[in-house]
Amino acid sequence: MQVNLSTITLNKFKAFYDLSQVSDNNDIETSIQLIHILTDKSVAEIEELELDEFKAILNSVNYENTDTSSLPVIIEYKANDKVYKSTNKDTFNFNVKQINLLQGIIKANANNYIEDLAAIIFKPIDEAGNIINDYSDEAIAQRKQELSSVMTMNILIPYLNLLHKQFK
């Protein structure tokens, strides 16, 4: 069973993160629940795993142990026949509006902003290929809904790293 950043969707990561914040990660019950969230395997199936395989999965989902600096910044993302883009330029950097919105979200919701980050960065394009820069509450909520179950963490983490540089 392979668990890596390209298989963890945003909503799975959020559930994983929420559980890891309220539980003792060293507790075997919590570890089973965490793997259950990330792999869709039933608790019974996970309990049948050999201990070495169980430990290997646990190790692979430890985001802190993963070097993410080499992950590429993907500018265009397709999901459900819809194209989302983070920028029309060759390289991405946050704009003032995005940082402003994210500061507000992070202030209100400390660490749980993964889905908001994706919805603020990735926006749909019009017929001419131009990004539709709609940052209204409704538009962000809609994009969160569209992206959280399909976008995987390997897409978002490079942006997360850029954001951390901004807040350093």
Partner 1 sequence: MVVPDSWNQISVGQFIELVSIKVEDFNCEDEYFIQLLSILTDTDSTIIEEMDIDDFNQIKSRLIFLSKLPSKPPKQSIVIVNTDLHLYPDLYSMIIGEFIDLENLITSNSIENLPKILAILYRRMKINNDAFIPDEFESYGSWLNHRANIFNEAIIDDVYGVLNQYIKFRKHIYDNYSGLFDFDDSDSTEEIDVSQMSAADKLTYQKAIEQEKIVSKWGLDALLMKLANNDVTKINDVVKLPLLLCLNSLALFKELNIST
Q: Which residues of the chain form contacts with partner 1 (CB under 8 A)?
A: 93-100, 103-104, 107, 133, 166
Q: How far is the CB of 104 from partner 1 (least distance, A)?
A: 6
Q: Nearer to partner 1 by C-beta: 82 or 97? A: 97
- Of 57 and 118, which CB lies nearer to partner 1 in the complex structure? 118
Rounded alpha-carbon distances, angstroms, from residue 77 to 6, 29, 54: 13, 36, 32
Sheet holding 76-79, edge to edge: 76-79, 82-85, 123-124
Do 132 and 124 form a contact (C-beta atoms < 8 A)? yes
Q: How near is the Cβ of 4 to partner 1 at its closest, in Å?
A: 30
Q: What six digits make up the tokens of 110?
A: 């400390």
CB of 122 to partner 1, least distance (A): 16
Structure-token pair, residue 32: 């089973």
Nearer to partner 1, 17 or 92 (CB): 92
Closest distance between partner 1 and the C-beta of residue 100, in Å? 5
Q: Do 133 and 122 touch, CB atoms closer than 8 A?
A: no
